[in-house]
Amino acid sequence: MLDKNKPGPGHSSEGRDLSGRTIVITGGAGFLGSHLCRHHLEAGARVLCVDNLSTGRLRNIEDLLEGHDFKFVKHDIIDPYEPGEAIDYIFNMACPASPPKYQLHPIRTFDTSVRGSHNLLELAMRRGARILQASTSEVYGDPAVSPQAEDYRGNVVTMGPRACYDEGKRAAETLFYEYNHLHKVDTRVARIFNTYGPAMDPEDGRVVSNFIVQALQGHDLTVYGDGTQTRSFCYVDDLVAGLMALMYTEGDLADPVNLGNPVEFTILELADLVLAETGSTSALKHLDLPKDDPKIRRPNIEHARDALGWEPHVPLIEGIRRTIPYFAAEIAQSAKAQV
Ligand SMILES: NC(=O)c1ccc[n+]([C@@H]2O[C@H](COP(=O)([O-])OP(=O)(O)OC[C@H]3O[C@@H](n4cnc5c(N)ncnc54)[C@H](O)[C@@H]3O)[C@@H](O)[C@H]2O)c1
């Protein structure tokens, strides 16, 4: 049974009726993928959640496992996947997204984006399914312009600790482009900017989860560099609404679409906000800036506004307020498990 109290949509799937449709969601046990699974079940769809559980957690979907319309398939998309039933849509969300996680197995990260996307594009072609790629703002690298629009070609490096992720995602976009042009596969590419919210792994090393968990535990908040670098943070419900709009809007939408919140904050502003909202007295601890860390990051979302009628609605302070109780519960749960 779908547990409405679990971290999940928190808002409706916008009245969309997807009954009779079967959706493959790769990376469905991860942060964004698990929200997508919930939204689709709410909309009446059948969901095939395909995940190798490398960074995802069964915990994110355990309340869904008994439902008739939900099937979990433990599978690595680097190997071809052949569902034993008809499918209509594929969301390719599989890939570790947090730098410490994707840098652990860089060649596997690259292969997940490239060979994984290739396998899924072949599947989409064989089955006549529409397919959406979770691409990323990292295709812009350390951008020399702000905000970043889709026609900005980026400032990226092929060699360096972030390249396995950034270049893998760029190559995946090329595959999506070619399958659309050569094979007429119905493709969509979402360039996702930093997103946060319930269902994030407290230990996966992203800035919002790090800060909230550190603040709640009374530890120093780790700020890389001087903290003046900027990010734009999108609340997960807004992002998922954007992904759904991109997948289910009819028309020629094969070109990449930025999805993110255009309001920009410095990392120091985020730290202050988290301290204020958690009531924590933690101090800030500055560490060296990781190599190739982007200094600015802000989406131009005009294309999404025009083509999809989509824009985010949840301000950072509101999203942080909705996210803190989730991490507090996660911390309490792991403390209980250790007793
Ligand atoms: N969250 C963000 O801010 C953000 C920003 C830009 C892009 N994205 C993209 O969105 C997607 C989802 O990100 P997320 O934040 O939910 O990350 P996540 O790490 O929580 O989820 C990724 C999921 O993919 C699974 N996975 C990884 N490699 C796999 C493989 N080879 N085969 C099968 N499953 C595999 C993991 O187990 C996990 O469940 C990723 O593709 C990521 O690159 C996310």
Q: How far is the CA of 329 from the centre of ligand 1 (A)?
A: 23
Place of tokens 């560490």: 287
Domains of the chain: 22-197+234-262+294-315 (3.40.50.720)
The set of residues, in sequence order, having a beta carbon less than 8 Å from that of 232 and lying 6+ positions away, is 193, 194, 260, 261, 262, 263, 264, 265, 297, 298, 299
pLDDT of residue 10: 36
Residue 251 has pLDDT above 90, yes or no: yes
Predicted confidence (pLDDT) per residue in 17-48, tens digit: 999 999 999 999 999 999 999 999 999 999 99
Nearest CA to ligand 1 atom 27: 95
pLDDT of residue 47: 98
Nearest CA to ligand 1 atom 18: 30
Computed over every residue of the chain, the mean pLDDT equals 94
The set of residues, in sequence order, having a beta carbon less than 8 Å from that of 105 and lying 6+ positions away, is 54
What b/e sequence results for 253-272 when a residue is b if at least 16 CB atoms lie within 10 Å of its CB, and e otherwise? bbebbbbbbbebbbbbebbb
227 Cβ below 6 A of ligand 1: no
78 Cβ below 6 A of ligand 1: yes
Residue 159 has pLDDT above 90, yes or no: yes
Q: How far is the CA of 94 from the centre of ligand 1 (A)?
A: 5
Q: What is the pTM assigned to this prediction? A: 0.95
Helix (H, G, I), strand (E, B) or coil at 141: strand
| CA separation, residue 132 to residues 245, 247, 255 (Å) | 11, 7, 11
| Count of Cβ atoms closer than 10 Å to residue 320 Cβ | 23
Residue 324 has pLDDT above 80, yes or no: yes
Q: How far is the CA of 30 from the centre of ligand 1 (A)?
A: 6
Residue 240 has pLDDT above 90, yes or no: yes
> Which residue, among 227, 205, 241, has the nearest Cα to 283 in the 3D structure?
227
pLDDT of residue 13: 55
- Quick one: which atom of ligand 1 is closest to the CA of 96? 19
Predicted confidence (pLDDT) per residue in 62-105, tens digit: 999 999 999 999 999 999 999 999 999 999 999 999 999 999 99
Strand partners, 285: 222
58 Cβ below 6 A of ligand 1: no
Residue numbers annotated as active site: 165
- Quick one: which atom of ligand 1 is closest to the CA of 92? 41
Q: Examine residue 147 and say whether the peptide bond preceding it is cis (omega within 30 degrees of 0).
A: yes
pLDDT of residue 103: 95
Pocket residue to mutate for ligand 1, from 26, 31, 257, most atoms within 8 A of Cβ: 31
Give the separation between CA 325 and CA 250, rounded to whole angstroms: 37
Residue 51 has pLDDT above 70, yes or no: yes
Predicted confidence (pLDDT) per residue in 165-217, tens digit: 999 999 999 999 999 999 999 999 999 999 999 999 999 899 999 999 999 99
Tell me the pLDDT band of 335, cut-offs 50, 70 and 90: confident
Nearest CA to ligand 1 atom 21: 30
- Quick one: which atom of ligand 1 is closest to the CA of 98? 19
Residue 19 DSSP one-character state = T
Q: Kind and range of the H or E element at 210?
A: helix 207-217
114 Cβ below 6 A of ligand 1: no
Residue 14 has pLDDT above 70, yes or no: no
For the CA atoms of 188, 323, 166, 190, what is the dihedral angle to 10 degrees?
10
pLDDT of residue 186: 98
197 Cβ below 6 A of ligand 1: no
